[in-house]
Amino acid sequence: MDFLNAIILLLNYIFVPALAYGSQLALGAIFVTLIYGILRFANFATGDMMSFGTMFTILFTWYFQSVGISLGVLPTALLAIPFAIIFMIGYMLLIDKFVFKYYRVNKSPPVQLAMVSIGVMFVTQAVVRIIIGPSDRRFFDGEKFLIKAGEFKEMTGLNEGLAIKSTQVITILVTLILVSTLFWFLNKTKTGKSMRAYSDNEDLALLSGIDPKRIVMITWIIAGILATIGGALYGLDKSFKPFTYFNNMLPIFAAAIVGGIGNPFGAFLGGYVIAFSEILLTYAYRKFFMYVLPESMEPGGLVQLLSTDYKFAVSFSILVIVLLYRPSGIFKGKVL
Partner 1 sequence: MRKNLNVIAAYSIMMGLIILVGIFQSWNIALSIFNLCLISAVMTMGANIQWGYAGLINFGIMGYTALGGLAAVLISVNPVQEAWNAGGWNILFSLFLIIGMVLAVRYVLKKYEKSKIRTYIISTIIILGIIIIRFVSEPGIEAIEEVDPAKTGFLGGLGLPIIFSWIVGALFAGGLAFVIGKVALGLRADYLAIATLLISEIVIAIIKHEDWLTRGVKNVIGLKRPAPYEVNLQQTDWFINLVEKFNFSKLNLISDLAERQAALNQFVIEGSSVFVKLCYSGLFLIVVIILLILTQKALYSPWGRMMRAIRDNEEAANAMGKNVVKQHLLIFVLGSAIVGIAGAMLVTQDGLFTPGSYRPMRYTFLIWVMVIVGGSGNNFGAILGGFVVWFLWIEAAPIGLYLVNLTTAGLDDTHALKVHLIESVPYFRFLMMGIGLLLIMRYRPKGILPEKIEIK
| Site residues (vs partner 1, CB under 8 A) | 41-42, 44, 99, 102, 109-112, 114-116, 118-127, 129-130, 133-134, 246, 250, 253-254, 257, 307, 309-310, 312-313, 316-317, 319-320, 323-324, 327, 336
240 CB contacts (<8 Å, ≥6 apart)? 51, 54, 55, 58, 136, 137, 138, 139
The whole-angstrom separation of Cα 267 and Cα 22 is 11
Closest distance between partner 1 and the C-beta of residue 130, in Å?
Answer: 4
Cβ proximity of 124 and 45 under 8 Å? yes
- Best CA proximity match to 113, nearest among 36, 48, 53: 36
Closest distance between partner 1 and the C-beta of residue 105, in Å?
Answer: 12
Closest distance between partner 1 and the C-beta of residue 67, in Å?
Answer: 19
**Helix 190-200 with 166-188: angle, nearest 10 deg:** 80
199 CB contacts (<8 Å, ≥6 apart)? 37, 38, 262
How many CA within 13 A on the CB side of residue 295? 0
The whole-angstrom separation of Cα 173 and Cα 65 is 24
Residue type, 190: K
- Best CA proximity match to 28, nearest among 199, 210, 254: 254
The whole-angstrom separation of Cα 200 and Cα 168 is 35
Of 65 and 317, CB closest to partner 1 = 317
Cβ proximity of 229 and 57 under 8 Å? no
Of 120 and 216, CB closest to partner 1 = 120
Closest distance between partner 1 and the C-beta of residue 25, in Å?
Answer: 14
Of 111 and 176, CB closest to partner 1 = 111
Closest distance between partner 1 and the C-beta of residue 282, in Å?
Answer: 12
Of 115 and 217, CB closest to partner 1 = 115
Of 101 and 238, CB closest to partner 1 = 101
Partners of residue 266 on adjacent β-strands: none
The whole-angstrom separation of Cα 228 and Cα 27 is 10
Of 123 and 206, CB closest to partner 1 = 123
Closest distance between partner 1 and the C-beta of residue 252, in Å?
Answer: 10
Of 5 and 117, CB closest to partner 1 = 117
Closest distance between partner 1 and the C-beta of residue 52, in Å?
Answer: 13
114 CB contacts (<8 Å, ≥6 apart)? 41, 42, 43, 44
Closest distance between partner 1 and the C-beta of residue 156, in Å?
Answer: 37
Of 139 and 246, CB closest to partner 1 = 246
Closest distance between partner 1 and the C-beta of residue 164, in Å?
Answer: 30
Cβ proximity of 48 and 132 under 8 Å? no
Residue type, 267: A
Cβ proximity of 331 and 271 under 8 Å? no
